A = this chain, B = another copy of it.
Amino acid sequence: MGNHVSEKNKLFRKENEDRARLLIKCPDQPGIVAAVSSFLRDNGANIIESSQYSANPEGGNFFIRMEFECPGLRGKRTLLETAFSDIAQQFNMEYDFLYVTDIKKTAIFVSKEPHCLMELLWEWQNGELIMDIECIISNYEDSREAVESLGIPFYYIPANKDIRKQVEAQQLEILKKHNIELIILARYMQILTPEFVSHYPNQIINIHHSFLPAFIGARPYERAYERGVKLIGATSHYVTNDLDEGPIIEQGVERVNHRDKVVDLKRIGRQIERSVLARAVKWHLQDRVIVDGNKTIVF
């Protein structure tokens, strides 16, 4: 199965070897689109998809994501990036060239509940989530068999709040070894320290099992039940130092009623969690998500 995915990703790389994305953030002013699109044209690139957003036409930031096709891209990367620095300076841009063939090296963290991990593995095998899953890290052994059967390394690191420091040290070592670029917390029920988070800014995606900002923190389904809500939800967000306060990428809800006990809310919630997390990860992998302060722009 793992081989099967490698084959798919190989094919994907081949089909997309000339494909890249340019993400830009800069103060809004006339002429940005003209400058960038002329640059791409002059360098032989064809714009395939383009989305832009002005936070505030009178004096805010401007954001743009352009996906383009450029024959012979591999050999022209340095050239392109160097040539673009002039425009970037002129418009005071923060920017990033992202090459579609640079498939993101990903680690998935999971605790006991496997449904989010399973959804990610499933969509990865289907070719819906284009990523290289380098490893799974868990504080439980439960998922080992399913993970290893796909040829993915599984690391069991028991964790609790008393040994947080040494646990994170172990985890960081593994992440470094695998050159991880994206960490997905697929119902990993341990809090990460600011120190850990600081190594991966806007690179850790969490799924919280409530419709944030309702029911921040522990036991959201129990609290939703107590409150008697008529809809429950899930939220996928980037992890920052503030618990469940990071930039939201995606949310979903489902209807519940008075007959639904906590166990039913959890069951219904699992379906929301897995689809919300899968969408958020997909958008991140396609470089569609730009963090702007404590919010996201999803192009």
Q: Enumerate chain B residues within 8 angstroms of A213, measured Cβ to Cβ.
A: 214-215, 227, 229
| Contact bitstring A18-41, B, C-beta under 8 A = 1, else 0 | 000000000001110110011011
Asked whether B52 lies within 8 Å of A57 as measured between CB atoms, the reply is: no
Asked whether B50 lies within 8 Å of A50 as measured between CB atoms, the reply is: yes
Asked whether A251 lies within 8 Å of B228 as measured between CB atoms, the reply is: no
Name the distance in Å between A238's Cβ and chain B's nearest Cβ: 11
Interface with B: A8-16, A170-178, A289-297, which one? A289-297
> Of A213, A230, A297, which is in contact with the most chain B CB atoms at under 10 Å from its CB?
A230
Interface with B: A160-168, A179-187, A253-261, which one? A253-261
Q: Enumerate chain B residues within 8 angstroms of A297, measured Cβ to Cβ.
A: 258
Complex: how many Å from CA A269 to CA B122? 16
Q: Enumerate chain B residues within 8 angstroms of A296, measured Cβ to Cβ.
A: 228, 258
Asked whether B212 lies within 8 Å of A229 as measured between CB atoms, the reply is: yes
Q: Is A267 an interface residue (CB 8 A)?
A: yes
Asked whether B253 lies within 8 Å of A230 as measured between CB atoms, the reply is: no
Q: Which residues 243-276 of A have a CB within 8 angstroms of B?
A: 247-253, 257-259, 267, 271, 275
Q: Is A128 an interface residue (CB 8 A)?
A: yes
Complex: how many Å from CA A28 to CA B214? 33
Copies in the complex: 4
Our pick among B46, B275, B298 for the contact of A271 (Cβ within 8 Å) is B275
Q: Is A5 an interface residue (CB 8 A)?
A: no
| Contact bitstring A199-241, B, C-beta under 8 A = 1, else 0 | 0000000000001111100000000000111110100000000
Q: A212-B214, A214-B212, A227-B213 are in contact. Are A48 and B44 (CB under 8 A)?
A: no
Asked whether B52 lies within 8 Å of A33 as measured between CB atoms, the reply is: no
Q: Enumerate chain B residues within 8 angstroms of A54, measured Cβ to Cβ.
A: 48-49
Name the distance in Å between A275's Cβ and chain B's nearest Cβ: 7
Q: Enumerate chain B residues within 8 angstroms of A38, measured Cβ to Cβ.
A: 34, 37-38
Q: Enumerate chain B residues within 8 angstroms of A229, measured Cβ to Cβ.
A: 212-213, 248, 251
Q: Is A45 an interface residue (CB 8 A)?
A: yes
Q: Specify the chain B residue showing the minimal Cβ separation from A295.
A: B228
Q: Is A118 an interface residue (CB 8 A)?
A: yes
Asked whether B267 lies within 8 Å of A128 as measured between CB atoms, the reply is: yes
Q: Which residues 64-83 of A have a CB within 8 angstroms of B?
A: 69
Q: Is A51 an interface residue (CB 8 A)?
A: yes
Our pick among B49, B253, B258 for the contact of A253 (Cβ within 8 Å) is B253
Q: Is A192 an interface residue (CB 8 A)?
A: no
Complex: how many Å from CA A271 to CA B282? 15
Q: Is A47 an interface residue (CB 8 A)?
A: yes
Binding site for B on A (CB under 8 A): 29-31, 33-34, 37-38, 40-42, 44-54, 57, 69, 115, 118, 122, 126, 128, 211-215, 227-231, 233, 247-253, 257-259, 267, 271, 275, 292, 294-298
Q: Top 5 nearest A-B pairs by Cβ distance?
A: A228-B295, A34-B37, A214-B214, A33-B37, A34-B41
